[in-house]
Chain A
Amino acid sequence: MIRVELAKQLTRPRTYLTFLALTAFALALTVALSATGPGRVERVGDIPLLLVPRTSMFTLPLVALSSTMKFFLPLAVSVFAGEALAGEAAWGSLRYALARGASRSRFLGSKAAVAALFSIAAVVLVPVTAAAAGLVAYGWHPLPVADGSASTPLRLALVTFDQGQALGRLGLATAYVAAGMSSIFAFALFLSAVSSRPLVAVAGGVGLTILSRVLNVDYLPGVAVLNGYMPNNDVDLWQHLFQQPVQSAGMLHFLVLQAVYSAAFLALAWWWFLRKDVLE
């Protein structure tokens, strides 16, 4: 079933358009940053990290991850997960896939597996494209990072990562962002099982991201009690990986939260789909 699903999705124009858009964004970012002054400092995230783009190829994937993780990547993940089942229902092919006695659990599993694979590919594509562009533009150099939260007007908390360290931490940061998309993925998949309209499921995934950003203590101090439990708030904590020492407590809390949300939404999707009346 996974091969069948791969055959459907790999030949689908939407898949390529999504990947193309993410690649174009990463390349456009490289061009834009290259056009700035040679010593310009980029502020990345809320911690914040201070990077000078032209000093190392590794600055670009960090800026690219930071600028896509709050909207573009959730949108791409919502598209892949949200269209998984609702897309088939909208085409009218869902009833024929199931009418021949295909196991609904296996069908859902194959859909979820392929959508997850494409979602991970989308997350990985952004830093990989940016790193490749950065390599061409700035070369293979160590990554100097100034920790804005630890710096004072008199002392700059500067850490330099050699190429191996930078590559390793970039890989961990990418994996963290990918894991941070899992709750959105699972929610969009659940909506895809419930609705026969792909747009509803995609909008639901994006809506959860927006809700998570809006109910943020930085904007609404009154919701401080919710802050640690919103599914997308702390996706930017990967920036801790580039501090010295690494502060992993918040990251671990976020990963556990992702696991709980994902398990809950995936279980709901499975429960619903097994009982769903395929009326479309």
Chain B
Amino acid sequence: MALRNLTVAGPPPLAAVADHSARQEVSSAPAAPVVRIEGLVKRLRRGVIAVDGVDLEIHKGEVWGLAGPNGSGKTLTLKMLLGLVRPTAGKVFLFGEPVRPGARVLGRVGALVDGPGFVPHLSGLDNLRLAWRLTRRPADEAGLEPALDYAALGEALHRPYSTYSHGMRYRLGFAQALLGCPELLILDEPVTGLDPLHVRQLRAALAELVGRGTTVLISSHVLGDVQETCTHVAVMQQGRVVASGRVPDLVARFGAGKSLEEAYVALVAGPGAAGGAPGRSAR
């Protein structure tokens, strides 16, 4: 089979291919936000409202954390951002373009959502090559080599994916998200199952990407990571954004200046939080 046909000749290094900060705006008009979510609602079967009126705006170069208890609607919100789930109401825009299934603008996004997912009988390398071929973009735009550098799977890259450990699968998933050097990176619990060394490598890779102007949206329960990595945070509960803004502002306003974890606990479990206080902003 032609799996080997997709070779990446002389791939540019990560720093070169992912440098979105150097892009020049050709228009004097202000650039559209990278992400704009307006009144997003998702009603599931049996009438359960999983996402309930989410508004969010993310600008170029910002690093957003999405925090909230299990079932608060974080992953579903991310899936609506990617055109995988249709909103019941509301709108999602990426780079100013409306998102719908198959929208071209999704080609500017890399994602690791709800865990990695690959063809089990194929090797990690073949999985990445096939994933890129589905985009129908030229092979030399894949940025395969730098993505593989991050995955650091060594010889295991040629083994069937089904033989991978949990952590190896997540690293391959992150490598897939990096294919094509996306301008927006969406990561859902990216450190799940990673050992401390690879957590550190992930942080370093993220820092490098952010330094090159990549916009990042991370859903995570590891609030220490969010506080350390993110410039902004949105806290979700029961499908609503109960607070959002710059991390230091949220910490100062809801966490008594101590930590994001304190702010999170106050927002999610504190008095008055059960009913939700949608739209509290610390901007």
Residues of A whose CB lies within 8 Å of any CB of B are 1, 3-4, 6-8, 10-13, 91-105, 107, 274-275, 277-280
Q: Which of B84, B85, B120 touches A91 (beta carbons < 8 Å)?
A: B120
Interface string of B82-105 (1 = CB under 8 A from A): 111110000000000000011111
A8 touches B130 (CB 8 A): yes
In the assembled complex, B176 has its CB within 8 A of some CB on chain A: yes
Instruction: Count residues on chain B whose CB falls below 8 Å from chain A CBs.
Output: 39
A7 touches B116 (CB 8 A): no
Q: Which residues of B contact A92 (CB under 8 A)?
A: 114-118
Q: Which of A8, A11, A278 touches B84 (beta carbons < 8 Å)?
A: A278
A91 touches B117 (CB 8 A): yes
Also in contact, A101 and B107, with CB within 8 A (given A7-B3, A10-B1, A275-B86): yes
B131 touches A97 (CB 8 A): yes
The chain B residue sitting closest to A100, CB to CB, is B135
Also in contact, A98 and B101, with CB within 8 A (given A3-B2, A11-B1, A278-B84): yes
Q: Which residues of B contact A95 (CB under 8 A)?
A: 79, 82, 84, 113-114, 117
B121 touches A99 (CB 8 A): no
B166 to chain A, nearest CB (A): 13
> Inter-chain contact count A-B, CB under 8 Å?
101
Also in contact, A102 and B2, with CB within 8 A (given A8-B119, A92-B118, A96-B176): no
Q: Which residues of A contact B85 (CB under 8 A)?
A: 277-279
Interface of A is mostly: helix
B113 touches A101 (CB 8 A): no
Chosen A-B contacts, 29 in total, with CB atoms closer than 8 Å, are A1-B136, A3-B133, A7-B1, A7-B3, A7-B130, A8-B122, A11-B3, A11-B122, A91-B119, A93-B119, A94-B117, A95-B82, A95-B113, A96-B111, A98-B84, A98-B101, A99-B84, A99-B106, A99-B111, A99-B113, A100-B106, A100-B134, A101-B83, A101-B107, A102-B135, A107-B134, A274-B101, A277-B86, A278-B79
Q: Which residues of A contact B109 (CB under 8 A)?
A: 99-100
**Bound form: Cα–Cα A99–B82 in Å:** 5
**Bound form: Cα–Cα A279–B114 in Å:** 9
**Bound form: Cα–Cα A265–B103 in Å:** 26
A101 touches B84 (CB 8 A): no
A101 touches B102 (CB 8 A): yes
Q: Which residues of A contact B106 (CB under 8 A)?
A: 99-101
The chain B residue sitting closest to A107, CB to CB, is B134
**Bound form: Cα–Cα A7–B104 in Å:** 24
